Chains A and B, each alone.
Chain A
């Protein structure tokens, strides 16, 4: 195995023992990027020169210190939705091509302070709207396990890069499943924390009441290490929660004896692929073998999640995306003669098809006369969905479910039918509506070699339980150790 195939904690051990230098890791990662990036296209912007400079600085610092942060000297990629001072940030959209932010997102600031090496900005669905990474203005990303298939979305570039060794770990965002679903389809670990657990300051907004930042890693230990850095209150984000941040690595205990796990019956219905179901059922049996008690539970409003989401998310998006007017930043259509004409032409040329579709949908449901019938009604249904979960968590520790109803599909299969695409997020969306933490971990492969993901869902602020259950499972399986052949 090359250095680029190792995890954060494995590399940290080697750095501590002085077996390797940060420069060696960066060298290995960029060698891999040079060899596989033309096939996969995970990145929108590469920052190779900066990475080598940062590695030199890190090596010099580590030479003087016995102890240093786990991320020191480790190459990390950032989804191109995080603002990075002085480095192009596009959010996968032509409207922001060439945009150089004047400041860093809080997440970026924290990672930098802890010595991460930035490999570059990762490809994504335009404004994080998509389930397959086919809507990026900068071209599609391919699944490293099968180049004819999608990597999932919207953090498709981030998961593909982690899976292929083009960075050691990455950050993503999850509005309706955009961390968990691609993690599942590319065989990596993706954690969406409780809404408000991680600051959204400097993260380009899609649907503000649902968006949440989280780590994409090769294993559960790395996920805990990243969470230690990402979580925490940020006064610059008024939705960020002022709750104490635990040391998440303390959750890495391989024991869940006596835990009660719930399996929602509504998640095992028509549409769930038989190979995926088989792997999920086997994972559930393993949890039982490891000492947990598994019950069938019910989330009666499950079917209402996708329609609720497709009112709320576009409504919030249409409002958030009103700021792209071609005046202060971003693309401007030069021929416009009046102000309104400038807005219209710039937005029409700058936004892609899916973004326009959602802006129009959101504009409609928020327009005069329709607000109560759509937006307000959806907010009320959201309460019912949240209550379903709360009831289960009264006497269960964690919910187990599939992450995605199928393994990765082929390019173009769902692009002409938005509804078909929207339904691919059926198992992840309700978790965002309820603001809960959710996690996807590798739990098997289809006969044709495509990864399958198991989803763990916890109550608010129960990331520690998710990590502990996931870690327990991971210690008894080898799925997370497989790497795609490229």
Chain B
């Protein structure tokens, strides 16, 4: 399974990353090798087998939707790389 340069470019875009052509080539080879390796799963017929979403069969826990105040709002905001008052600051969107 060989990934085409266009496919790698698309993945890089979807993953919100940037890459030069040398890096792209390196990752393309490595990802292709890994994808060839995982093709091994095609040896198995899994039709009719339930997928495992959770390793242990437990019902989804339910709780009341009760809002609670987070105490350390300032500490959360203090971690922002850029902020203005109580807001996270980002480059101009529109």
Instruction: Check if A and B associate.
Output: yes
A214 at the interface (CB under 8 A from B): no
A304 touches B76 (CB 8 A): no
B34 touches A361 (CB 8 A): yes
Kindly state the separation between the CA atoms of A338 and B16 in the bound complex, as whole angstroms: 13
Kindly state the separation between the CA atoms of A481 and B77 in the bound complex, as whole angstroms: 48
Partner of B18 from the list A102, A311, A344, A422 (CB cut-off 8 Å) is: A344
B16 touches A329 (CB 8 A): no
B63 touches A235 (CB 8 A): yes
Q: A100-B79, A332-B81, A363-B14 are in contact. Are A379 and B53 (CB under 8 A)?
A: yes
A209 at the interface (CB under 8 A from B): yes
A304 touches B41 (CB 8 A): yes
A374 touches B38 (CB 8 A): yes
A360 touches B11 (CB 8 A): yes
Kindly state the separation between the CA atoms of A347 and B15 in the bound complex, as whole angstroms: 9
B41 touches A327 (CB 8 A): no
Kindly state the separation between the CA atoms of A43 and B9 in the bound complex, as whole angstroms: 37
- The closest CB in chain B to the CB of A387 belongs to B49
A327 touches B90 (CB 8 A): yes
Kindly state the separation between the CA atoms of A310 and B39 in the bound complex, as whole angstroms: 11
Q: Could you tell me how many residues of chain B have their Cβ less than 8 Å away from some Cβ of chain A? A: 51
Which residues of A193-239 have CB atoms within 8 Å of chain B's CB atoms?
Answer: 194-196, 209, 235, 238-239
A102 touches B44 (CB 8 A): no
- The closest CB in chain B to the CB of A194 belongs to B56
- The closest CB in chain B to the CB of A308 belongs to B41
Kindly state the separation between the CA atoms of A468 and B15 in the bound complex, as whole angstroms: 46
Kindly state the separation between the CA atoms of A374 and B1 in the bound complex, as whole angstroms: 13
A339 touches B91 (CB 8 A): yes
Contact with A along B45-57 (1 / 0, CB 8 A): 0100111111110
B17 touches A348 (CB 8 A): yes
Contact with A along B1-45 (1 / 0, CB 8 A): 001000110111011111100000001001101110111111010
Least Cβ distance of A408 to chain B in Å?
A: 24
A377 touches B31 (CB 8 A): no
B81 touches A331 (CB 8 A): yes
User: What are the residues of chain A within 8 A of B65 when measuring CB–CB?
Assistant: none
B92 at the interface (CB under 8 A from A): yes
A384 touches B11 (CB 8 A): no
B12 touches A360 (CB 8 A): yes
Q: A326-B81, A332-B81 are in contact. Are A380 and B49 (CB under 8 A)?
A: yes
- The closest CB in chain A to the CB of B89 belongs to A327
User: What are the residues of chain A within 8 A of B49 when measuring CB–CB?
Assistant: 380-381, 383-384
User: What are the residues of chain B within 8 A of A308 when measuring CB–CB?
Assistant: 38, 41
Least Cβ distance of A378 to chain B in Å?
A: 6
Kindly state the separation between the CA atoms of A301 and B52 in the bound complex, as whole angstroms: 15
Kindly state the separation between the CA atoms of A348 and B56 in the bound complex, as whole angstroms: 36
Least Cβ distance of A280 to chain B in Å?
A: 26
B27 touches A307 (CB 8 A): no
Kindly state the separation between the CA atoms of A311 and B41 in the bound complex, as whole angstroms: 10
A434 at the interface (CB under 8 A from B): yes
B46 touches A310 (CB 8 A): no
Contact with B along A342-373 (1 / 0, CB 8 A): 11110110010000110111011001000000
Contact with B along A404-428 (1 / 0, CB 8 A): 0000000000000011001000000
User: What are the residues of chain B within 8 A of A172 when measuring CB–CB?
Assistant: none
B14 touches A377 (CB 8 A): no
B79 touches A336 (CB 8 A): no
A sample of 8 more A-B contacts (CB under 8 A), given A303-B40, A356-B15, A460-B55, is: A241-B56, A241-B58, A310-B38, A327-B90, A347-B16, A357-B27, A367-B14, A380-B46
Interface, chain B (partner A; CB < 8 A): 3, 7-8, 10-12, 14-19, 27, 30-31, 33-35, 37-42, 44, 46, 49-56, 58, 60-61, 63, 72, 75-76, 78-82, 88, 90-93
Name 17 interchain pairs, CB-CB below 8 A, sorted by A.
Answer: A194-B56, A238-B61, A304-B40, A307-B38, A307-B40, A308-B41, A310-B34, A329-B80, A344-B17, A347-B16, A361-B35, A364-B3, A381-B49, A383-B46, A384-B44, A436-B55, A460-B56
